[in-house]
């Protein structure tokens, strides 16, 4: 591990690669650096950027995207011999068969509705991703989707909850995505009439990753399961695996 750990890992080809180390826990400890890395579009990384991530310590890559997304943009790590690669489709390609209309809905409510569907119908896939990270020798592990925002954000919330991080910090980590994804918006997506001075991270976040959406998600899991960690266990992650994750997170 040749790089000093930092929250944001600046690697050419991606915008939202972040280490979830260094967060305070309610027990007075903090999460370990260079163990769990959340990311966005690492399937676009060139050879030099791939090696930068590997030199940071990455041993395992988990691609959380749907089959359709993976087939359209194959992961550059899928065929590497020097890293363990896994695919865990969190959403499923049929999740849009009964789409939740965004029209007329507040972003907070629409995003929460999507998360609720994922959590209620794909619990086994969340369990698969977390169980993979809990395997001996799997860490440091990188887990990612398209934007490192929704599916990745939910996995991050579960990991931080297992570590004993307070809900307010979990929500802040989720909302931090806007700080980096707004750069992707302007480099790849923005129409010519959008003024960068007016489309700030706050504006991006209010539409795409409002902290209230994660707060609603946490409240839902607390009401239905007794919390995020309880959801993880109910999803099928064994006690030993939860303890293994906890040890890697704060041990």
| Tens digit of each residue's pLDDT (9 = 90 or more) over 213-244 | 999 999 999 999 999 999 999 999 999 999 99
SS3 39: strand
Enumerate domains of the chain plus CATH numbers: 18-250 (3.90.190.10)
Structure tokens at 66: 């749907």
Neighbour count for residue 68 (Cβ, 10 Å)? 12
Residue 43 and residue 76 in contact, taking contact as beta carbons nearer than 8 Å: yes
Residues 186-206 have a mean pLDDT of: 77
At 230 the pLDDT is 98
SS3 38: strand
Rounded to two decimals, the pTM is 0.94
The Cα-based distances of 45 to 63, 76, 106, 150, 180 in angstroms read: 14, 7, 34, 21, 17
| Tens digit of each residue's pLDDT (9 = 90 or more) over 46-70 | 999 999 999 999 999 999 999 999 9
Distance (Å, rounded) from C-alpha 220 to C-alpha 13?
35
Residues 91-109 have a mean pLDDT of: 77
Structure tokens at 125: 């896939």
Distance (Å, rounded) from C-alpha 211 to C-alpha 175?
5
């Amino acid at each position: 591990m040749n790089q000093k750990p930092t929250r944001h890992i600046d690697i050419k080809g991606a915008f939202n690669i972040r280490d979830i180390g260094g967060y305070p826990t309610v027990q007075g400890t903090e999460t370990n650096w260079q163990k769990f890395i959340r990311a966005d579009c690492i399937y676009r990384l060139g050879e030099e950027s791939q090696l930068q991530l590997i030199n940071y310590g990455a041993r395992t890559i988990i691609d959380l995207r749907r089959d359709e997304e993976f087939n359209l943009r194959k992961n550059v790590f899928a065929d590497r011999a020097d890293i363990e690669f896994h695919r865990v489709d969190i959403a499923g390609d049929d999740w849009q068969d009964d789409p939740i209309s965004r029209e007329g809905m507040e972003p907070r409510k629409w995003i929460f509705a999507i998360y609720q569907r994922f959590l209620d119908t794909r619990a086994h896939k969340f369990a698969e991703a977390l169980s993979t990270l809990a395997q001996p020798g799997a860490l440091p592990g990188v887990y990612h989707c398209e934007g490192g925002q929704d599916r990745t954000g939910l996995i991050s919330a579960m990991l931080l909850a297992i570590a004993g991080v307070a809900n307010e910090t979990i929500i802040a980590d989720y909302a931090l995505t806007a700080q980096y994804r707004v750069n992707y918006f302007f480099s790849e997506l923005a129409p010519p009439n959008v003024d960068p001075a007016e489309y700030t991270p706050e504006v991006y976040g209010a539409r795409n990753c409002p902290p209230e959406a994660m707060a609603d998600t946490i409240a839902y899991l607390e009401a239905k399961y007794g919390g995020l960690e309880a959801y993880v266990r109910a999803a099928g992650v064994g006690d030993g695996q939860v303890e293994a994750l906890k040890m890697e997170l704060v041990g």
